[in-house]
Amino acid sequence: PVPGDSVVGYVTRGRGVSIHRADCPNLLMLVQEPERRLDIDWKELEGEKFMVRLALEATDRRGLYADLATAVSATGTDIRSFELHSADGHVSGELAVEVGNLAHLQKILKAARRVKGVTEVARRERLTSDVRNVESGV
């Protein structure tokens, strides 16, 4: 999750508290054990970055990769990995980017969608979680 996401804490067995987006399919197990659920909120964060993977689909064209990197970088975003594959005029793959919060992520997605040839770009699951950056609402 990134700041701004609706999040839920889940008390694991032997590994502390696991933080999930409220819409995470892994939370289905909470139906059977609601006592392990924690209501949590984000702390105010200044300068913290979170790694997020973006899945991308596009129609291949000359300059697509450069235009995509330029558009994402123009949002003030650091691209940590960029792995796209092209076959038969179709490009698919993913980018890993550092985001500060949900609004920043939405800005990146909007910029990527504006690139000529991009047909779909969406967030994938988190790369890392950092429970230091949430505090219990309980």
- Give yes or no for residue 127 having a pLDDT over 50: no
Phi then psi dihedrals of residue 126, to 5 deg: -65, 155
Indicate the domain borders of the chain. Answer: 50-126
Q: Name the strand (E) or helix (H) holding 61.
A: none
Instruction: Give the global pTM.
Output: 0.65
- Give yes or no for residue 105 having a pLDDT over 80: yes
- Give yes or no for residue 67 having a pLDDT over 80: yes
Predicted pLDDT of residue 115? 96
Identity at 119, one-letter amino acid code: T
Q: What CATH homologous superfamily does 50-126 map to?
A: ACT domain (3.30.70.260)
| pLDDT tens per residue, range 69-78 | 999 999 999 8
64-73 vs 102-113: helix crossing angle, rounded to 10: 150
| pLDDT tens per residue, range 50-66 | 888 999 999 999 999 99
The model's confidence at residue 112, banded by pLDDT at 50, 70 and 90, is very high
User: What string of DSSP letters covers 80-132?
Assistant: EEEEEEEETTEEEEEEEEEESSHHHHHHHHHHHHTSTTEEEEEEEEES---GG
Which residues, including other chains, have CB under 8 Å from residue 38's CB and lie 6 or more apart? 8, 9, 10, 11, 17, 136, 137, 138
